[in-house]
Amino acid sequence: MRDDPRNPDPGFADLYASLPDAEDLWPWLDWCKAAEPPVLYLGIGAGRLAVPLHRAGIELVGVDAHPAMLARMRERIPGIEVHQALIEELRLKRGFDLVIGPSSILARDANLAAAARHVRAGGRLGMELMNPHWIAHGDHAGLRVAGGVMEVDYTLPDGSVVTQIVDQLEGAVTAPEQTEERLDRHRLKLEWMGGRPDDELTESPTYFVLARALHTS
């Protein structure tokens, strides 16, 4: 299946709802606890990460382009504030002390620009991005890249496998060495960047970025 935010596939909600909730909340929980609530979560999906954060006491405002994803979220966290929108078009007319974008949702510059305009002055933005150095370094089970297209396999609890196809890989994956220049363009200052615990930056499947906003919302 293909994840096209402008033409959402209902199957994605079923896929993500069938995956177990995240158990490792690093670094999101630490970042959220340090922020004034609520936290704006871009690409909140069906709640795999959001629900455990909510259980840990984090107040979230969610954004996603997939109506079926948001329907799942409302079922799992009754009363949560959610907005159906393309991230690049999002304009909530208020700023947040922390905006988060897991799962490479902020790899594209248009999405990063939208995230930045929702961080209030002095607030922070946290994101997770797929690491192209890790992709290029050998073969990886469940992941294939060829001709600018990436295929990612998800193994479901019943043992079946669903494959997500990511078209137009160029622009959807950014290298760590591009980070400071990308942040500068949106008046964000890098505070910290690193891979997963115990992984060198170049060896980590994804890497994390925490930046502070210098602009006035």
**What's the pTM?**
0.87
- Does 146 reside within a domain? no
pLDDT of residue 170: 61
Q: From first to last of the 217 residues of the chain, give the pLDDT tens digit.
A: 566 677 777 777 888 788 889 999 999 999 999 999 999 999 999 999 999 999 999 999 999 999 999 999 999 999 999 999 999 999 999 999 999 999 999 999 999 999 999 999 999 999 999 888 887 776 677 777 766 677 777 777 777 777 777 666 566 788 999 999 999 999 999 999 999 888 888 888 899 999 999 965 4
Q: Is residue 14 part of a domain?
A: yes
Asked, for residue 37, whether it belongs to a domain, the answer is yes
Domain membership flag for residue 163: no
188 located within any domain: yes
Question: What number of helices (H) and strands (E) belong to the chain?
Answer: 7, 10
Peptide bond into 27 cis (omega under 30): yes
**Is residue 56 in some structural domain?**
yes
Full domain range(s) for residue 34: 10-132+174-213
The CATH number that applies at residue 15 is 3.40.50.150
Which pLDDT belongs to residue 167? 66
pLDDT at 217: 46
Question: How high is the pLDDT of residue 202?
Answer: 80
Q: Phi-psi region for residue 190, left (φ > 0), alpha (ψ -120 to 50) or beta?
A: beta
Asked if the structure places residue 162 within a domain, the reply is no
Distance, CA of 104 to CA of 107 (rounded, Å):
5
Closest CA to 53 of 67, 70, 40, 72: 40
- Domain-embedded: residue 141: no
Our count of domains for the chain comes to 1
Cis omega (within 30 of 0) on the bond before 38? yes
